């Protein structure tokens, strides 16, 4: 869960810089990046989706937020590493702005850190940390079987259909199909019910097509083939990572 930081001193609150409640994970929104590099938000979004399609970004999480006039707008939240990749093609001055902004955010994290002033406070903080560590260990133990299964699947070297991928991820097939379509992994041509993988996902090794020969058309004699879209081991591993991050 993220809590919005106060960004009123230098950037509009709509930018959406955020920090996790445990003060360990900060994100910067695509809108704030666009403000810093003086670019159109749609252009920044296009860069994010292009890099994500190549498997280069780790953190994109899309949310819908209210913009000026109350119109909802889709925004990506990125960790620091990914913001630097996104702005790599901009000028030195623009990249410097992003770096300065991250340093400002990190300074606020330090300011929010609670430093014990008494022995009793130190003991209380230590006890809270032990409790958090125990909770984290429980999460790790709970996820261990799923992680092991995904690793075995990735090592198997075989691609599987989207329905089977949903079963491995413990998702409903309809939810996975909807997510893949929304995030431009798969699409349908107009008038067709068959799913097709986007070429960037195929190039990135996340998806592939299985081609099955069909009987020739009885009227024309033309050879026919069916295309089934499959998720590769690399693809399901990436989906599992997104699921663990809460993006899927």
Closest CA to 22 of 126, 123, 117, 129: 129
Number of domains the chain contains? 3
- Please tell me which residue, 39 or 132, carries the higher pLDDT value: 39
Q: How confident is the model at residue 194, as a pLDDT?
A: 86
Do 134 and 211 fall into the same domain?
A: no
8-state DSSP, 238: H
With beta carbons less than 8 A apart as the criterion, state whether 28 and 34 touch: no
Cα–Cα distance between 179 and 96 in angstroms, integer?
35
- Residue bearing the bigger pLDDT, 129 or 43: 43
Nearest CA-CA partner of 237 in 119, 156, 121? 156
Q: Are residues 34 and 67 in the same domain?
A: yes
**Higher-confidence residue: 26 or 150?**
26
Distance CA 6, CA 24 (A): 17
Q: Please give the distance of CA 48 from its chain centroid, rounded to a whole number.
A: 10
**Same domain for 131 and 194:** no
Residue 234: pLDDT band with limits 50, 70, 90: confident
**Res 182: pLDDT:** 92
Asked whether residue 123 falls in the same domain as residue 108, the answer is no
Q: What is the mean pLDDT of the chain?
A: 77
**Highest mean pLDDT: which of 21-35, 87-101, 206-220?**
87-101
Does the pTM exceed 0.85? no
Q: Are residues 81 and 150 in the same domain?
A: no
**Same-domain status, 60 and 15:** yes
Of 112, 133, 166, the position where a domain reaches its end is 112
- Asked whether residue 33 falls in the same domain as residue 100, the answer is yes
Q: Is 83 exposed, middle or buried (0-12, 13-18, 19+ CB in 10 A)?
A: buried
Among 46-55, 85-94, 111-120, 149-158, the least confident range = 149-158
- Helix runs in the chain, H state only: 30-37, 41-53, 80-86, 92-112, 119-156, 162-168, 173-182, 199-203, 233-245
Rounded (10°) CA dihedral 149, 155, 157, 162: 30
| 89 and 124 together in one domain | no
According to the model, what pLDDT value does residue 231 have? 93
- Structural domain containing residue 74: 2-112
| Model pLDDT, residue 37 | 92
Tell me the C-alpha distance between 230 and 196, whole Å. Answer: 9
Same domain, 80 and 48: yes
């Amino acid at each position: 869960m993220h809590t919005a930081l106060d960004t009123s001193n230098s950037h509009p609150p709509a930018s959406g810089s955020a920090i996790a409640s445990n003060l360990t994970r900060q994100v910067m929104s695509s809108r704030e990046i666009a403000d810093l590099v003086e670019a159109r938000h749609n252009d920044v979004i296009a860069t994010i989706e292009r890099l994500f399609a190549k498997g280069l970004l780790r953190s994109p999480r899309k949310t819908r937020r209210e913009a000026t006039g109350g119109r909802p707008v889709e925004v990506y939240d990125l960790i620091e590493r990914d913001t630097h990749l996104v702005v790599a093609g901009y000028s030195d001055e623009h990249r410097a702005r992003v770096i300065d902004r991250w340093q400002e955010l990190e300074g606020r994290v330090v300011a929010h850190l609670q430093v014990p002033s008494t022995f009793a406070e130190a003991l209380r903080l230590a006890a809270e940390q032990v409790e958090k560590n125990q909770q984290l260990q429980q999460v790790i133990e709970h996820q261990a079987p799923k992680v092991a299964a995904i690793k075995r699947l990735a090592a198997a070297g075989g691609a599987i259909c989207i329905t089977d991928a949903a079963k491995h991820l413990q998702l409903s097939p309809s939810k996975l199909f909807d997510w893949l379509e929304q995030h431009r992994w798969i699409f349908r041509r107009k008038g067709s019910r068959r799913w097709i993988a986007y070429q960037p996902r195929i190039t990135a090794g996340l998806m592939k097509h299985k081609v099955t020969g069909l009987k020739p058309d009885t009227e024309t004699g033309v050879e026919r083939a069916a295309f089934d879209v499959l998720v590769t081991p690399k693809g399901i591993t990436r989906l599992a990572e997104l699921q663990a991050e809460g993006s899927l």
